[in-house]
Each structure stands twice: as C-alpha cells, then as structure tokens.
Chain A
Amino acid sequence: MADFTSGFWNIFITVLTLLGVFGCGLLLWAQSRQQIVVKPGADGGIGTTGHVWDENLTELNTPMPRWWMWLFTITIVFALVYLYLYPGLGSYPGKLGWTSTGQYTEELKKADAEYGPLFDGYLKKDLKVVAADPQAHAIGERLFLTYCAQCHGSDAHGSKGFPNLTDRDWLYGGDPETIKTTLLHGRNGIMPPMGAALGSDADVANVAQYVLSLSDAPSDPIKRVLGQSKFAVCAACHGADAKGNQALGSPNLTDKIWLYGGSADTIMETIRKGRNNVMPAFQDFLGEAKVHVLAAYVWSLSNDPVAQK
C-alpha cells in the first residue's frame, strides 16, 4: 500500500501508536502498585488522600474497583491483538490482510452466490421467454433504473444524443439478440464531419433541407433539389434511399425520429461537426446473466413479450 510517499511517516505512526498503548499499560501498572496514605476525615468519617485543589477540593479515599483495572488491561490486550491482525500501524497490512476492497469483493461474491442461480436460470432461456416472465421483468426494470436510466431516462425515452428505447426504430437492430450484443459489447456510433466533403456552407444548408424533406418535414423546394444532388456523399452510410444501415449503426433519415433534433440548424450542425456516440460495454461490469435479463426487458419496452412468446 503506497499510502505514504516517505517511509518516515510509516515509522512515525507505528512508533507513536505503540508508545501510546504501552504508555497506557505502564501507567496502569505503576498506578496499581502505588500505595496511598489516607488520613482520616475531620469528623472521623471518610478519609482523604491529602490532595487538595482550589482551596478546598479534597480527594476522598475511595479507590477504584479492581475490575476496572482488568478492563483497562483487557482493552490494552485487545488493542495489541487488533493492531496485529488488522491494518493500523503505518503501512503494516495486518496479519489477516484485511482491506475494504477485499471485503467489497467478498460481499459481491456472496451476493453472486445467492442470486447467481436465479440469473443463470434466465440465461438458459430464450430472450423472448425471459421477457414474458413477470419476475424477470421486475428484475430487469430495477436493473434498468440502476444502470441505464442515467442516459436513457427512467422511462427509457432517452434524450438528446441518447436513443429512445421504446420506439421501434433501432440504430443497430431491434431483435433481442442484437440488443443483447449492444449491451454486452457496447457501440461506438460515429458520424464524421462532412462539411468539407460537401463543399460550401450553402451546400450544407441545401443537404439539410433535403434531409428534412426525406421525412416530409417542411423544407425549401429549391434548396431541397440542390441538396439532393450532393446527397451521394451521405448515401455511402445512410444508403441511397436514406433508410440507414443497421450494420454500421447509421440512422434512418426518413422517419421522424431524431437523435439530436430535427431542426434545420441541428441537422446542419450534425453535418458540419459530425457526431460521436458511445454506448459503453456492460459485459465485464454486470456479467452476461444480468445483461441477458436487461436485454429482454429493453426489448419488451417496444414489443409485447406475451404476444410474441
């Protein structure tokens, strides 16, 4: 453990801690051997040790019970045993080698052992069957709210830059297996900046008008026609019919679904600057069994699992 940049502090803390513990023990030992002469009180009652503070405060001769001494001794022994077993002396890791990370891993293992069979049971089943299972649906919903809702929203409707998962439009394909692949390995959707390839700013504006017209949005008739001739550059990915290509993850431009927005300005911005979209991979983080349940849940959002079972 490299908590200390200098070996000095390691020794400093170790020595200080042990000095403190042994110091307490020494004090206790010395006190237990000390004898006090007790003078009787003025009225012959409880005597005092003869110590007087602040003019008239005297210490009565009521010694502590001896079991207190044993409690102190037990405490000192406990401290030493603890410091031997657990980290506490500088960078000494302790005989048991305990770490908070280790404990976390262990608890994770325990949870996996407890719930693993449940998820493994689903893993053996077809995704559509899992999607129709009410318990798997409830688990999937909780997993989604924990791991997916940050980007896609609690209702899975997404937001700007993050796809809506409840419509039936898919960048990479909407069958359950493809969704699972997306979750397992992630996706990296790149729309390169196309401003230079298209030519002038006017060309970009014209193409944008053409793109608008593809989904029957209001567009400028002249610019639209001018843009159509430049669309060949875009067709490489989006296809000549502009219906996109799920193998590449290039969106269909003819529906009314927009990842970043469907206004002329936004489309021009997309063309000029490009877009870079990352869906992270969850295989290492969640494991295949949980992803399986999640994929079934996500698929069910835009499909009726019971009808298609």
Chain B
Amino acid sequence: MSTPEVSVIKMYAAREEIYPREIKGRYATLRWLCVWLTQLVFYGLPWLQWNDRQALLFDLGARKFYIFGIVLWPQDFIYLAVLLIICAYGLFLVTAVAGRVWCGFACPQTVYTEIFLWIERRIEGTRSARMRLDKQAWGIDKLWRKSAKHLVWGAVALWTGLTFVGYFTPVRSLIGAVASLGLGPWEWFWILFYSLATYGNAGWMREQVCKYMCPYARFQSSMFDKDTLIITYDTDRGEPRGPRSKKTIAPAAKAQGDCIDCSMCVQVCPTGIDIRDGLQYECIGCAACIDACNSVMAKIDLPAGLIRYSTDHAITKKWSFAQMQARVLRPRVLIYTAILALIISAFFVSLFMRTPLKMDVIRDRGSMGREVEDGMIENVYRLQIMNTDEARHHFKISVAGIDGIALASPDELDLEGTGSRAVPVRVRVAAGEGRPGSNKISFTLVATDHINQKVTEKAVFFVPRGAGHDEHDDHH
C-alpha cells in the first residue's frame, strides 16, 4: 500500500507482476468445473462427425455453415445475428442478477488464465516460490523452469489455435496438413494468430485484458443495481481489523473485528486488488477471496462469510438471505427475462419452421411481355433455386395468380444436395386474362419427394397494353 505522500509518476506505468496464490474451495471447484466443461466443448466439438462430415463446420470458402443437421447459407445470416443478440441479453440478465459471474467463471480470458496458472504452478511452484524465482539471478534452475513453462504454454496455445481453425477447415485434414506443413497462408496466419493471442493473453497479459482491454468491464456497471449480487467484505463485522491471539477471541468485546488482516484475500486475487476497499471495477467476481477468507475463518473458528456474495442493499440494510432473495425478481430482471425468453423462442420456432429450400425470382427485363402463338402473353423469369438440404430432391414448379396461368417450360427438375441452379422459365396467360400492366402472381416450388418442403415467392406478370386485340396499339 502506498503511503499518502506526494509522489512523482510517469504517464505510462510498467505492469506489476501479480502472483495469485492457489486456493481451494467451493468456488475454485466450481471454476474448474467451468474450465473442464467449456474446454471439453471447445476442443472436442470439431472432432464430432455427422452425415460423413464435420458436425460443426463454418465453411467460409463455400459460404455454408454446417451445424449438426442444419446447413445455413449466407441468406440465413439473421440466425447468427439473433444468436449474438441472445448471448448479449443472456449476459445482461446474468449480470443484473449475479454480477460478473461470467467474468469470474466462464470467460475465455479467465479460463485460459486458470489453465496457464496451473501449468505455471506445476513448473515454477507456489506463489512464494515463484516470487523467489523471479527475484533470483539467472541460473540453470531458473532457465529450465522458465523455458519449460513457456514451452508448455506454447504447446497449449498452438493446440488452441489449431482447434480454432478446425471450426473453419475440417480439423482431421488440418492435422494432416500441419504435419506435412501443407497449409494455406490463411490457415497458417489464423493458427499462429490465435495461438499467439492465447499465449499472450493468458500467459502475459492476464488481468491487463480485464482492466484495460475488455469492453464489457467498462459497461457492465450499467447493468448493476443495489440488488445485484456482488462480492463484498462485511465491513461492520470485520473492522477494526488486526491480528489476534487466542486470548482476544472474545465475541462480545467489539474492540476488534473478525478480520485478522492475514491478507489472504489479496494474495489470491487474480487482479491484485483488496476487496476490503469496497467494490472496484477490477473485481471480476471470481470469488477466490471468498474461498480464501472462508478457509481462514474455519481455522480460527469463526463463521464463514466475512467476504461473501451479497448485495449492496443486503449489506447496508442488514438484510437476511430471504430478504435478499425476495429482491431478485425485480422489474429489471423480469424485463430482461421476458425479452430473452421471447427472442429465444422466436429463434427456435423460426429455425425449426425454416424450409431448406430457397428461391429468388428475377424477372427478365429484356422483354416486358410478349405475344406468342394463339395470342398468349408470355413473360420470362429466372428462378434462382437453392436446395440447402443435404439430400438430392426432385422439385416441381407451379405458378398462380391469374386464371389459366401456366408454365410453358419444363416444370420439374432435380437438384443435388446443397446445390443451387438458375432456371429460366416461361409463363403464359391466355389473351384477355389479367389486366394490362403488371399483375401479381406467385411461384411455388415443392419438393415432390419430401413433405413440407415448399416455398412460395411473389412476382409480377406483365400484360402489354392492347395485347390480344391489335398490335398497332402497342406502338402508339
């Protein structure tokens, strides 16, 4: 702690190394659970197969996203946008209720830092051993420990980068290509870029990412209110702090608070703050200090919870847990929940009602509407038909909107899986049908070998003025 005196600083300060102490406890276990869960999903997903292809593959080159049974095309980009909105609202809701639990338990920055810290501890030792190692002069011991650490970090980072690219290039062939150094320049770039980002962020930058880079850390305060769960130090119970001997443990004598100033909560903090100074923006809500304090309280036979999850209201108004709980369902939370539920249900309903069939109707502009044999009026269209399903289908085209309107070109076609084709079609109407000018019609495409695959698109049919009577009128 700096002493309160006038000091001279520079505008740019070097980062001070933080040596978080390893801590075991309820929340540490929970965080490791999150690490395992998220990383099993991240490292494992690209290896799953589905229909003889990678189950999850974002094929940017072919502009097709394969997500298990679904193939999304660029036209389905809205789903990605909605998915991002759902994630954002989910984050808002969780933050309003429980503060920065995302930051503390599931954020990739936290997760990878946790993994990298674990490696660091296995190689360089405990907090005090690491502090000693950093101070000591370079020697064999320091050299091998440091290089081993960076080697392992690098290996984990490389695998992470490889996995990341595996979402965009089939991972099985990617591994082979890496082994034979046969990757394309972009694959190299992204593998190395993502590896370097993992290595740099989780190994070197750590809390700097949360404090200076993360945009979420900057606007999360707008989702906080006095009923949001935060990690708090119970000042009334803890102060005045100070070391105590067995003799001074006299609960009645309030000359001393429960905090023995052991500084464990500061030592375990990954961002290097003192939670006893109150809520700070650096606090990522990881609850390491809660685990630390509770273990100390257990040792000195005092109740746990000197540092605990609580709310601003609960602390200042001395609410019980039940009273605090009663405030969870406040308007802000209800509104967030309602909006989230609405978006999620709309998302899934539209995803399941989505037909894997798309059609764009493009009217030929070269000829407006022409007269053909028997005085029929003919219009030409180009149908861009996309079969986004993975199976080959047989399709039938029909047209409606004017009495007797019919196709004058083949109305059936085959289209292979995830294929697209532009089909020129001619549509005819008998003379006298429809009114001069544009008429609203619609094209319907149906897969004859598969139920519920049907798409209808609007179009315009043009009947020339004076058509069917006398050609002269056309040229006046």
List the interface of chain A (C-beta within 8 A of B).
Answer: 31-41, 44-45, 47, 61, 63-69, 141-142, 145, 149-160, 162, 261, 263, 265-266
Asked whether A152 and B12 contact (CB < 8 A) given A157-B380, A263-B471, the answer is no
CB-nearest residue of chain B relative to A256?
B373
- The digit string for B282-310, where 1 denotes a CB below 8 A from any CB of A, is 00000000000000000000000000000
Q: Which of B1-9, B20-28, B154-162 contacts A (4 or more CB under 8 A)?
A: B1-9
Whether A155 contacts B425 by the Cβ 8 Å rule is yes
Which residue of A has the minimal Cβ distance to B369? Answer: A159
Could you say which of A149, A155, A156, A263 contacts B472, with CB atoms under 8 Å apart? A263
B residues in contact with A265, CB < 8 Å: 471-472, 475
Interface of A is mostly: mixed
* CB-CB nearest in chain B for A33: B10
The answer to whether B4 and A40 have CB atoms under 8 Å apart is yes
- Tell me the smallest distance from the CB of A143 to a CB of chain B, in Å: 11
Q: Is the CB of A155 within 8 A of B380?
A: yes
B11 and A65 contact, CB distance less than 8 A: no
Distance between A256 CB and nearest chain B CB, rounded to angstroms: 9
Chain A residues closer than 8 Å to B380, beta-carbon distance? 153-155, 157
B212-A47 in contact (CB<8A): no
- Is there contact, CB below 8 Å, between B9 and A149? no
B15 at the interface (CB under 8 A from A): yes
Q: Mark B4-44, 1 if CB is under 8 A from A, else 0.
A: 11111111111100000000000000000000000000000
Does the CB pair A65–B212 fall under 8 Å? yes
Residue contact B208 to A63, C-beta cutoff 8 Å: no
Residues A47 and B10 in contact in the complex (CB < 8 Å), given A153-B367, A160-B367:
no
Q: Is B370 an interface residue (CB 8 A)?
A: yes
In B359-416, which residues have CB < 8 Å from any A CB? Answer: 364, 366-367, 370, 378, 380-382, 409
Would you call B262 an interface residue if the criterion is a C-beta within 8 Å of the partner chain's C-beta atoms?
no
Q: Which of A31, A142, A155 contacts B11 (CB 8 A)?
A: A31
Q: Which of A37, A150, A160 contacts B6 (CB 8 A)?
A: A37
Q: Which of B15, B382, B425 contacts A149 (CB 8 A)?
A: B382
Given contacts A155-B409, A265-B475, A266-B471, 10 further A-B contacts (CB under 8 A): A32-B11, A36-B9, A40-B4, A47-B2, A66-B15, A67-B205, A153-B367, A157-B426, A160-B367, A265-B471
Which B residues form the contact surface with A (CB < 8 A)? 2, 4-15, 205, 208, 212, 277, 364, 366-367, 370, 378, 380-382, 409, 422, 424-426, 471-472, 475
A154 to B379, CA, bound (A): 11
CB distance from B471 to the nearest CB of A (A): 4
Which of B4, B422, B425, B426 sits near A41, CB closer than 8 Å?
Answer: B4
Instruction: Give the residue of B5, B6, B13, B424 whose beta carbon is less than 8 angstroms from that of A64.
Output: B13
Query: Are A40 and B9 in contact (CB-based, < 8 A)?
Result: no
B424 near A63 with CB under 8 A, answer no
CB contacts (< 8 Å) of A32 on chain B: these are 10-12
List the A residue with the shortest CB-CB distance to B212: A65
A–B Cβ pairs within 8 angstroms, 14 of them: A32-B10, A34-B11, A35-B9, A39-B6, A45-B4, A61-B9, A63-B13, A66-B12, A149-B366, A153-B367, A153-B380, A155-B364, A160-B370, A261-B471
The 6 residue pairs across chains A and B that have the minimum distance between CB atoms: A159-B367, A154-B424, A40-B4, A44-B4, A63-B13, A155-B424
Whether A149 pairs with B364 at a CB distance below 8 angstroms is yes
The distance in angstroms between the C-alpha atoms of A157 and B424, with both chains bound, is 11
Q: How far is the CA of A47 from the CA of B472 in the complex (A)?
A: 92
Q: B75: shortest Cβ distance to chain A, in Å?
A: 20
**Chain A residues near B426 (CB-CB < 8 A):** 155, 157
Instruction: Report chain A residues within 8 Å CB of B7.
Output: 37-38, 47, 61
What is the chain A residue whose CB lies nearest that of B363? A154
The distance in angstroms between the C-alpha atoms of A160 and B472, with both chains bound, is: 15
Q: Measured between C-beta atoms, what is the minimum distance from A64 to chain B in Å?
A: 5
* A-side contacts of B366, CB under 8 Å: 149-153, 159, 162
User: Which among A38, A41, A145 is the interface contact of B9 at CB below 8 angstroms?
Assistant: A38
Please name all residues of chain B whose beta carbon is closer than 8 Å to the beta carbon of A69 when the two chains form the complex. Answer: 12
How far, in Å, is B380 (CB) from chain A's closest CB? 5
A124 to chain B, nearest CB (A): 27
Q: Give the residues in chain A near B13, CB-CB below 8 Å.
A: 63-66
In the complex, what distance in Å separates the CA atom of A48 from the CA atom of B382? Answer: 70
Within 8 Å CB of B382, what residues of A?
A: 145, 149, 154
Complex: A174 Cα to B208 Cα, angstroms: 75
State A204–B12 Cα separation when bound (angstroms).
Answer: 93
Instruction: Kindly provide the distance from the CB of A276 to the nearest chain B CB, expressed in whole angstroms.
Output: 18
A65 and B208 contact, CB distance less than 8 A: yes
> Which A residue's beta carbon lies closest to that of B475?
A265
Residue from the list A65, A149, A153, A159 in contact with B12, Cβ < 8 A: A65
Residues of B within 8 A of A153 (CB): 364, 366-367, 380, 424
Contacts of B12 in A (CB 8 A): 31-32, 63-66, 68-69
Q: Nearest Cβ distance between residue A50 and chain B, in whole angstroms?
A: 10
Interchain CA distance A67-B15 in the complex, whole Å: 8
B272 CB to closest chain A CB (Å) equals: 13
In whole angstroms, what is the CA distance A34 to B242 when docked? 40
Interchain CA distance A169-B472 in the complex, whole Å: 25
Q: A68-B212, A153-B380, A261-B471 are in contact. Are A145 and B424 (CB under 8 A)?
A: yes
Measured CB to CB, the closest approach of chain B to A40, in angstroms, equals 4
Q: Which residues of A contact B471 (CB under 8 A)?
A: 261, 263, 265-266
CB contacts (< 8 Å) of A63 on chain B: these are: 9-13
* CB-based contact B6/A65 at 8 Å: no
When the two chains form their complex, are residues A38 and B6 in contact, meaning their CB atoms are under 8 A apart?
Answer: yes
Residue in B5, B14, B381, B409 whose CB lies within 8 Å of A66? B14
| Closest Cβ neighbor of B472 among chain A residues | A265
A151–B370 alpha-carbon span in the complex (Å): 14
A145 to B421, CA, bound (A): 11
B5 surroundings in chain A (CB, below 8 A): 40
The contact of A40 among B6, B8, B378, B425, by CB within 8 Å, is: B6
Would A34 and B10 be within 8 Å (CB), given that A66-B15, A145-B424, A266-B475 are in contact? yes
B8 touches A36 (CB 8 A): yes
Report B-chain residues with C-beta under 8 Å of the C-beta of A141. 422
Q: Which residue of the partner chain B has the closest CB to A31?
A: B11
Cα distance, A158 to B370, chains bound together (Å) = 10
Report B-chain residues with C-beta under 8 Å of the C-beta of A47.
2, 4, 7
Expressed in whole angstroms, the minimum distance between the Cβ of B469 and any Cβ of chain A is 12
Q: How far is the CB of B319 from chain A (nearest CB, A)?
A: 27
Q: What A residues does B14 contact at CB under 8 A?
A: 65-66
A33 to B9, CA, bound (A): 10
Name the residue of chain B whose CB is nearest to the CB of A44: B4
- A61 closest partner in B (C-beta): B9
A74 and B224 CA atoms in complex are apart in Å by 36
> B422 and A142: CB pair below 8 A?
yes
Cβ contacts under 8 Å, B409 to chain A: 155
A159 touches B370 (CB 8 A): yes
Task: Provide the bound-state CA to CA distance between A153 and B208, in Å.
Answer: 62
Chain B hits for A37, CB < 8 A: 6-8
**Interface pair A38/B475, CB less than 8 Å apart:** no
